[in-house]
Amino acid sequence: MIEAQPTTNITPDTLVPETQKMKANGYRLVQMCASRLPEGLEVNYTFDKDCAFANLRILIAAESPSLPSVSGVYWAALLYENEMHDLYGIQFPGLVLDFKGNFYKVAKKHAFNEAASCTAPAKS
Confirm if 15 and 56 have CB atoms less than 8 A apart: yes
Nearest to another protein of 15, 82 (CB atom): 82
Interaction site with another protein (CB under 8 A): 1-3, 5, 23, 26, 28-31, 33, 35-37, 44, 46, 48, 50-51, 53, 55, 74-76, 78-79, 86, 97, 99, 102-106, 111-112, 116-122
CB of 76 to another protein, least distance (A): 4
Taken in order 79, 33, 22, 66, is the CA torsion positive or negative? positive
Q: How far is the CB of 17 from another protein (least distance, A)?
A: 18
Nearest distance from C-beta of residue 89 to another protein, angstroms: 14
Residue closer to another protein by CB (options 61, 106) is: 106
Q: How many helices (H) and strands (E) in the chain?
A: 2, 4
